[in-house]
Amino acid sequence: MKKSIQKQSLSKIVAKVMLRVFLILLALSAVPLLNKSGNSLNKINVYFPSSYAFIFPILLFILFVTLLVIMLKHKYTKVDINWLFSLNTAFLIAYLVLLYVRIIPQLAGM
């Protein structure tokens, strides 16, 4: 019984931390929009070799929202959903970081 409670609390903590980290990264992406010079957004040029490159992040985000709704509906009590949400959010965070690494140098003029 004690081991089950520890697993549940660990998955709950990890899911909450991943959700907060993702929301912070998403909020940081709005910083260039709040910048005084609006013309810096005009010089962003990111090239994707295929239109299929958009399918993976769109599916990740749809799965993120679906798991988030399920997880919040059950109030972090389902251990499997918490871990699936954490794994999905980790992949989504990695994708956002890789995207930001391509965009931020262009904003800085490097």
DSSP 23: H
Q: What is the pTM of this model?
A: 0.82
pLDDT digits (tens, 9 = 90+) for 36-94: 665 666 666 777 788 788 888 899 999 999 999 999 999 999 999 999 999 999 999 99
Question: What range does the domain containing 54 cover?
Answer: 2-108
* Residue 39: strand, helix, or coil: helix
Give me the phi and psi of 46, to 5 degrees please.
Answer: -110, 125
Cα–Cα distance measured from residue 68 to residue 82, given in angstroms and rounded to the nearest whole number: 9
User: What single letter denotes the amino acid at residue 26?
Assistant: L
Q: 97 is written with which tokens? A: 């970081």
Task: Count how many domains the chain has.
Answer: 1
